[in-house]
Amino acid sequence: MFKRFRVLVLFFALLLLPLGLFLHINHNTAALAEQDEIPISIETRPMRLVSGMSADQQRCSITLKVPAAVQPLTLILDNAGPVQVWVNDQQVYLSSSQDPYQRIQFVTLPQAEGTLTLSLAPSELQRNDAVSTSQPYSPPGMLLAGPQAALSASHVAFGITMFYAGFYLLLMMSSLTLFQKKKEETYLLLLAAASLVSLLRVLALSAFPLFPLSYAQCSLIMPGIFLMTTLCQLLIIMMLLKPAIPARLQAVFTPRILTAGFALLMLLQYITPEGVETLIRILAVIPILILFVRADQRHLPGTFPLVCGYAVWESILLFYYLIYNRGAMQAGELMIVYMLPQLGFLFFMMMAALVINRKFAAKFDESESLNRELEQMNANLDHLVDERTQQLQKEQAQKQRMIMKVLHDVRSPIFVLKGCLQQLEAKDEGQQRNLSTMRQRLEVLEGLSDDLFLSVKLENHELAFVFDEVCLNDLLTHLAEAHQVSARQKQIRMNLILPKQAVWVWADDLRLQRVFDNLLRNALAHTPEGGQIDCVCSVKGEQIEIRIQDTGEGIDPEELPQLFDAFYTGNRSQGSGLGLAIAREIVEAHRGTIEVEATSKEGTVFLVRLKMLNSTSDSMIK
């Protein structure tokens, strides 16, 4: 049972503390008198001023028991406005200042010993103002022994006011700064609003002209400030403990509905002020306590700091009302009078800020934990990538060694067979036809092994290029003549078109011959009988373009992106799929480009572009 309602036990335990402290202060009244403090017996009659009341009916009377050999008394009036002061029914002070912004007045009373009666009443200006606002006249005042004590007390009051104002200003700025970064955390905006309202309350209640409003104007806005403070307090608790609100009530207790309700109560506060403040506090306390109980049962973080902050706020208010309205107030209790009205809400704001800081700290810890996990995952991934890379490199090296071994094993018998064929051809003419067929097959096998060998060398960047000045006219003419025999056998017309002047490139003659030899072989292989192959060399600015076009069946456009990949044969090739890959590697080694233009009906066009040799500076490979 205790665990279910322990927050209520904590709340009411803190609420009972001011009662014990109040009894303790009353018990020590005599002891305070021996320490040169002034025990004051107050008989006040705060009332609402109405037209037609006499000056005697409007007085607040205080009976003083002044010890012997005490310094002259100084009366400090805070936010009293224009006022009249009587001592033993003799007027000793009449406020002559008509400045409505005057907040604090020092009244030096005539030195007296024994019992005297101090009476306060509003001046004519204050009475007229009070009638219009319908507010009770109960000016806050404090009696001190000697002018020096009064001055020190005012300095203390000013210091306390500045401390409160600085704290609320700093809290408001920090909350707004965090809200700019985390706009989804709406409780930060509420905390900033509560800080602003509290700052306005401190300035409005200050004994110093820190707020550009008169005493009457401040009295008029104070009920609204009180309601806004209570509203912000309730909304902050609701937002921080939102999971404790039942789901069916979350649609009812929204910030808009609560704000509208408090606006209605604010209107009632100005229409019928009696009892509305007490009603508001009861309406606010009950749902807050229920929310605290539900939050504690759900073990929501931040519940106990908020309970402590709210309980201290309520208990300090209770203690303040008891001290302010009791039958004996000590002059040395100036700190209590100035500190208590704001100290409670300041403590609540500190607890709310603590809970918010804990929420941000928890999110930061979670973010740090996720970052550490991510870093660990990245480290593991890097390790896996390194392992996989090493494994692939090892497999690639093994594959290359295997290919080289196979090439060696294939090329060795080819050379032996070619030598044997040459001997057979020389001795026996009757076997020429069979031997010719065998030679063709061996040449195909030799070409395949050469392609594979060259591909491996190019992939490993182990192929050496011997660059020199090469005349493309001579190179292309030689290749075209070499393929004329095959073209005539298939009745294919081969056209070679060259520039009138010789064009030169800086290239490896043998490797470049391999490129155009592969392209012409492909064109012959895929051009039907009676077709045509055009090899056109032209100068395009500083580049030489070699265009090889056939009238074959063409290439499917979907195959074009993979056409220059190693071992890609497509749907029409019966070769190894290495020729075009080798051609691209060689052309790119010459800082050139090779492209293909093809359709499935109009044949294929290969374009090779190389840089033309113009000067000796172009003869250097950088």
Domains annotated for the chain, with CATH where assigned, are 1-34+148-386 (1.20.1070), 36-145 (2.60.120), 461-619 (3.30.565.10)
Q: Determine if the pTM surpasses 0.95.
A: no
Enclosing H/E stretch for 596: strand 593-598
pLDDT at position 19: 64
User: What b/e sequence results for 104-118 when a residue is b if at least 16 CB atoms lie within 10 Å of its CB, and e otherwise?
Assistant: bbebebeeeeeebeb
pLDDT at position 4: 58
> Could you say which DSSP state residue 557 is in?
G
> How many CB atoms are located within 10 Å of the residue 555 CB?
21
Looking up tokens 């001023």 gives: 49
| Secondary structure string (H, E, C) spanning 86-153 | EECCEEEEECCCCCCCCCEEEEECCCCCEEEEEEEEECHHHHHHHHHHCCEECCCEEEEECHHHHHHH
Reading the block at residue 273, the tokens are 């002020």
Backbone torsions φ then ψ of 563, nearest 5 degrees: -65, -35
C-alpha to C-alpha distance for 106 and 570, rounded to whole angstroms: 106
Task: Using DSSP bridges, classify how beta strands 493-497 and 532-540 pair: parallel, antiparallel or unpaired.
Answer: parallel
pLDDT along the chain (622 residues), means of 10: 61 67 55 43 36 50 64 67 77 66 70 71 53 46 64 72 86 88 83 87 70 66 77 82 72 68 67 60 76 81 84 78 55 52 81 86 83 88 87 73 64 67 62 64 66 68 82 93 89 92 92 90 88 93 92 78 66 61 87 81 86 58 35
The answer to whether the beta carbons of residues 41 and 65 sit under 8 Å apart is yes
C-alpha to C-alpha distance for 536 and 544, rounded to whole angstroms: 10
> How many CB atoms are located within 10 Å of the residue 533 CB?
24
C-alpha to C-alpha distance for 424 and 420, rounded to whole angstroms: 6
H-helix segments, 206-302: 215-240, 247-250, 255-271, 276-297
